[in-house]
Structure 1
Amino acid sequence: MSLSGEQQEWAPPGVDPERPSVARVHDALLGGQENFASDRSVARRLKDAVPEVVDLVWCNRAFIGRVVDFLVREAGVKQIIDLGAGLPTVENTHEVAQFADPQARVVYVDNDPMVEPHARAILGGNPNADSITADARDVDAVLGHPAVRRLIDPARPTAILIIGVLHLFSDEEQPHALVKRYMDALPPGSHLAASNFLASDNPKAKALEIMLQATMGTGHFRDHEAVERFFDGLTLVEPGVVHFPEWHPDDRLPGPLAPWEELLVGGVARKP
């Protein structure tokens, strides 16, 4: 157990509170309560390195919301698998999807054992949504999970969301091949929504990459061409792979992006 002030922090079985997790650090950055001292320490160090990191996390949430709304309303995709979903916050994937279509189905996937029980508490018995504990790198375990088999019809178009995840995988782990395995398993009309931190000369990119590597042991920034390769064989939805604020913005962009808004790029593509 770890100590926070004078109180011990209780952790459920299978969770090491001394070891920060991406999901819980994300929760700490958003001001949530489902995190430990180790996670809050990482969050503080990230904010010291890039003070706008909290804005960046909310920008990521907004991007996911616009993507999910597009997928359900415009692309007509009613099934979504959200890989590396993290701890529930606000405007979660199932909430956005089911606001657009109450029959939309969503399965959350995360390798942090804390995510599943908290997600299910928020789902409250929602018959069209579920959460599972699995590693996104194990395609067979994810797609073969009973909850996925129950909710996701393999014959119907499905959307794979892998947003805020791919930068956790090194090139040695072959993330491009991983994405291709998911898309190869899905029928035509399925969609991929993916993102990655952008490698550049932006000082904030350098600072964040160094701090992620120092605190989490991961954080692989990629150039624009490498991010676009995640969509090989698919048809990109306009405007292609762009900075998050530039993808289907709710309002007209007021002017040039701030340096922190240039740290992430992503896009959506359809399987022909």
Structure 2
Amino acid sequence: MPLPDWAPDDIDPEIPSSARVYDYILGGVHHLDSDRRLAQQITALAPDVPRSGRANRAFLRRAVTHLVTEAGITQFLDLGSGIPTVGNVHEVVHTHNPDAHVVYVDIDPVAIAMSRRMLADTPAATAVRGDFSAIDAVLADPEVTALIDFDRPVAVLAVALLHFMPDAVHPADTLARLRAAMAPGSYLVLSHAGNEGPPEQMSATLELYRRTPTPMVLRSRAEIAALLDGFDLVDPGLVYLSQWRPDPGDVVEVRAFDGYAGIGHLPAASTPQ
């Protein structure tokens, strides 16, 4: 089957992509038959997964809004940004501060191709292809450093990213490298799928995600909290997605597959007494 005109020529249409599956779950249009089949199989086994995907996207919007309006952050590095869909980070940010800088980073070629097309007329934002597990290359990328000044506070977003990072790639070490590169006053935004859902559904869902290049890794709340070591948690701490500063009128409920969300603030180094 020929690829659609938005898809790069170097992808295999028979191999589903986690980014494109997420796009389908959120109601986007940039996915292939293999992605739709996998998303439908996941939903049949675990009906709460699409709702959790939408809850994750809503958390991203609330977190970014907080950082740009209340914390005064003017630069955002979105790691594992995914395929553009409704409520992209730069759209949320630029609603409040049109001069703020946003850099999207993803390993998926479709995500970057679509992001770059969307951002063609937006000089304050760009998208680069990069790998979280090779974070030094991301931090040194000329397109990243053209928009992000790591000597000033920055918000690093790792939203629905780290549950695609196995222990073998040492995500905590990568986060420590990021933390060392961030100026005091910076923030880390994190959401991560937990491991507390129905065991049968979770096991079956994990097996389906093994068909993609980025299998999922579910972690406990304690393991997720450890990924925020070195940061001070912003109130209300590490909570379920819908519990992180819900908007007035939001229905706050927790269901199977709802992950955890939190924002860490990097304090200034303490002065020895």
Q: Check whether TM > 0.5.
A: yes
RMSD: 1.7
- Alpha-carbon distance in 1 for matches of 2:113, 2:250: 38
**Residues 159-198 of structure 1 mapped to structure 2, 5 A cutoff:** 159-198=155-194
Q: Which residue of the partner structure matches residue 87 of structure 1?
A: 83
Residue 213 in 1 paired to residue 207 in 2?
A: yes
Matches within 5 A, 1:11-50: 11-50=7-46
Deviation at 1:212, TM superposition (A): 2.9
1:265 is aligned to 2:265: no
1:227 corresponds to: 224
Kindly state the Cα deviation for residue 13 of structure 1 after the two structures are TM-superposed: 2.7
Aligned 8 A contact 2:153 2:185 in 1: yes
CA positional deviation for 1:252: 5.4
Amino acid at match of 1:227: I
CA-CA distance at 1:263 after TM superposition: 2.1
CA contact (8 A) 1:179 1:230 kept: yes
Tell me the secondary structure at the aligned position of residue 107 of structure 1. Answer: strand
Deviation string 1:209-267 (CA, Å, 9 cap, x unpaired) is: 53133333521111111111111111110000000111010025656x2423x620010
Deviations 1:134-171 (A, max 9, x none): 11111111111111010001211011100101011112
Partner Cα distance (1:209, 1:101) in 2: 43
| Secondary structure at the counterpart of residue 230 of structure 2 | coil
User: Unpaired runs of 5+ in structure 2?
Assistant: 268-273
SS for the counterpart of 2:216 is coil
1:208 deviates by 3.6
Distance 1:162 1:244 in 2: 14
1:142 maps to what in 2?
138
Q: Which residue of 1 aligns with 2:271?
A: none
Aligned equivalents of 2:266 and 2:169: distance in 1?
Answer: 23
Cα pair 2:209 2:216 within 8 Å, conserved? no
Instruction: State the alpha-carbon separation in 2 of the partners of residues 235 and 215 from structure 1.
Output: 33
Q: Which amino acid aligns with 1:88?
A: P
Q: With structure 1 as the length reference, what TM-score do the two structures score?
A: 0.91
Matched letter for residue 69 of structure 1: T
TM-score w.r.t. length of structure 2 = 0.90
C-alpha distance in 2, partners of 1:169/1:189?
26
Kindly indicate whether structure 1 or structure 2 has the higher relative contact order, using CA contacts under 8 Å at least 6 residues apart.
Answer: 2
CA positional deviation for 1:117: 2.1
**Matched residue of 1:91: which SS?**
coil
Structure 1 segments unaligned to the other structure (5+ residues): none
Which region of structure 1 is more displaced relative to structure 2, 63-72 or 120-129? 120-129
4+ residue segments displaced more than 4 Å: 252-255
Q: Secondary structure, in 3 states, of the residue corresponding to 1:192?
A: strand
Which residue number corresponds to residue 151 of structure 1?
147
**Distance in 2 between residues matched to 1:181 and 1:210, nearest whole Å:** 34
Task: Give the equivalent residue in structure 2 for 1:239.
Answer: 236
